Amino acid sequence: MKQYKYSVFTDKIEEGIRKGLLKPGDKLPSVRAIKAEYTLSTSSVQSGYDYLVFRGLVQSLPRAGYIVAASIDSEVSSTALNAIPRDSVFREKVLLTSNRLEHSEQASLNVATPADVFIPQKLVLKTMQEVIREKGASLLRYYPNNGSNELRDLIASRAALYGTTIQADELVITDGALQALYIALASITSPGDIVAVESPCVFSILEVFASLGLRTVEVPVRYPNGLDIEYLAKVCADYTIKAIVVTPNFHNPTGLLLTDEQKQRIYNIAVEYNVPIIENDIYGDLYFEGNRPSNIRSFDTKGLVLTYSSFSKTLAPGLRLGWLAAGKNFSKAERVKFSIGRSVSPINQEVMIKLLNSSSYDKHLRVFRSKLEFQCIRLIEQFKVSFSEEFKLTYPKGGYSLWCQLPISTDVDLFYKSCEKEGVYFTPGDTFSFTDAYDSCFRAVFSQQLTDEHLNAIQRIGKVLR
């Protein structure tokens, strides 16, 4: 069964473009013609065209329908197979996505960290002092290689609260989520192997693939439903995929959340092709409504899912505290962890233990979630009133970021120059792929403190582009 009704015609257009039968500038059938040919509703046809526009393949011309915007060089599943050396761009991208130039500097809307004002600084620093008083010199020794047993127990018990079975003795405490990903990949892949990953995908994850010498196949994340699962199945059929790396809960950069049914389908594909899933759940606690979403791990009966997360996005990135539930790959994972830094700083582990043992972490999460949601809504509203109707954006239900696409006719250089002039920064789309599919997209982060200056700046940028 097709996941999207519109793929009956979007697949054909995509294929036509790929085979060179449709060339940039060629006029595409009207919405009415497609409706009649495929017996689809207007909204399905519209969504299909939106999707092609979002992918940068098709351009929408005001009152003149759709034309082909770009050519695709090679076959679908091989377009994204890349091992592009990224060393030359690394420094620049690190600056764009994570660093602040000075300790005191306010970050702009390009940095996916909690704003200083959203970190419960007093709570963390007070807890640190208590820990130092109580534990004294024992904090200066090596802690167990895989982390404190108490912390591992606490993480496993928290996961059980939202239906995810994680055993304390399969957990490796890591220096943040990125290290957990590194350990997971290094445990189950070798240089030259191919991994499947969402596209767009946050730069830091792509960088881990590059440094491990892995090749990637990028699987599109489509708005509004998220990962294209049929595409993933095709990729697994066409290639020997050694791992599927996904962020099912509030994916960075789109903020999209997969349903339980979608998680189950991804798991079924992994079972069918016997491919491990490496599941990133770093944003799972940051939902805006309802209950805490599940993990693909909750569907795992065969030990195929390695789940990881950290407290970087929910509490403070400077604690450098994350974890990997390595399952049957635990022995390999603990060796990799040992080789890249033995154990995580004891003081930070003890701080986290103290916070998780009290109600203060959950209290903080409740407040933080509502602040994130408030800022997300304000940012979306500001984009909508400031930019033209062809400007597209996602509507996240949690997490940190939304994904925006400038109308195809936008002068992208002018956009970034205006951002620079106004002092408001977004993360450029090309950061999120080894391909150039997202040149007209950008990520806007709402975990930084959104000020009136930011909002006014967005309005002025919108005016320049109109």
Ligand X SMILES: Cc1ncc(COP(=O)(O)O)c(C=O)c1O
Contact residues toward ligand X (CB under 6 A) are 112, 176-178, 202, 204-205, 247, 252, 280, 282, 310, 312, 317, 322
Q: Is 325 helix (H, G, I), strand (E, B) or coil?
A: strand
Instruction: State in angstroms the smallest separation of the CB of 43 from ligand X.
Output: 31
Nearer to ligand X, 10 or 375 (CB): 375
User: Which one, of 112, 28, 26, 15, lies nearest residue 72 by Cα?
Assistant: 15
What is the phi/psi pair of residue 377, to 5°? -65, -45
Asked if residue 294 lies in contact with residue 163, where contact means CB atoms within 8 angstroms, the answer is yes
Instruction: State in angstroms the smallest separation of the CB of 374 from ligand X.
Output: 21
Report the C-alpha gap between 351 and 328 in whole angstroms. 29
Instruction: State in angstroms the smallest separation of the CB of 311 from ligand X.
Output: 8
Nearer to ligand X, 242 or 320 (CB): 320
Q: Is 222 helix (H, G, I), strand (E, B) or coil?
A: strand
Asked if residue 188 lies in contact with residue 233, where contact means CB atoms within 8 angstroms, the answer is no
Query: Nearest-CB residue to ligand X?
Result: 176
Nearer to ligand X, 204 or 307 (CB): 204
Instruction: State in angstroms the smallest separation of the CB of 145 from ligand X.
Output: 19
Report the C-alpha gap between 205 and 198 in whole angstroms. 10
Instruction: State in angstroms the smallest separation of the CB of 126 from ligand X.
Output: 23
Nearer to ligand X, 288 or 432 (CB): 432
Nearer to ligand X, 249 or 386 (CB): 249
Q: Decide the pairing of beta strands 441-445 and 401-405.
A: antiparallel
Tokens encoding 96: 């764009």
Tokens encoding 340: 């890249």
Asked if residue 145 lies in contact with residue 338, where contact means CB atoms within 8 angstroms, the answer is yes
Which of the 8 DSSP states describes residue 67?
Answer: E
Asked if residue 285 lies in contact with residue 310, where contact means CB atoms within 8 angstroms, the answer is no
Report the C-alpha gap between 15 and 132 in whole angstroms. 62
Instruction: State in angstroms the smallest separation of the CB of 17 from ligand X.
Output: 30
Nearer to ligand X, 108 or 280 (CB): 280
Instruction: State in angstroms the smallest separation of the CB of 154 from ligand X.
Output: 17
Looking up tokens 């820990």 gives 131
What is the phi/psi pair of residue 157, to 5°? -70, -35
Instruction: State in angstroms the smallest separation of the CB of 47 from ligand X.
Output: 26
Nearer to ligand X, 151 or 465 (CB): 151
Q: Decide the pairing of beta strands 305-310 and 277-280.
A: parallel
* Number of Cβ atoms within 10 Å of the Cβ of 381: 11
Instruction: State in angstroms the smallest separation of the CB of 205 from ligand X.
Output: 6
Q: Which amino acid is at 367?
A: V
Reply yes or no: is the peptide bond before residue 253 cis, omega within 30 of 0: yes
Instruction: Give the end-to-end CA distance of the chain in Å, rounded to a whole number.
Output: 41
Q: Is 448 helix (H, G, I), strand (E, B) or coil?
A: coil
Nearer to ligand X, 202 or 406 (CB): 202
User: Which one, of 40, 41, 48, lies nearest residue 13 by Cα?
Assistant: 48
Instruction: State in angstroms the smallest separation of the CB of 333 from ligand X.
Output: 16
Instruction: State in angstroms the smallest separation of the CB of 312 from ligand X.
Output: 3
User: Which one, of 276, 178, 260, lies nearest residue 226 by Cα?
Assistant: 260
Report the C-alpha gap between 231 and 218 in whole angstroms. 10
Nearer to ligand X, 283 or 288 (CB): 283
Instruction: State in angstroms the smallest separation of the CB of 220 from ligand X.
Output: 17
Nearer to ligand X, 12 or 100 (CB): 100
Q: Which amino acid is at 152?
A: R
Tokens encoding 288: 């805006």
Nearer to ligand X, 67 or 96 (CB): 96
Nearer to ligand X, 205 or 441 (CB): 205
Measured over all CA atoms, what is the biggest interatomic distance in the chain, rounded to whole angstroms?
Answer: 76
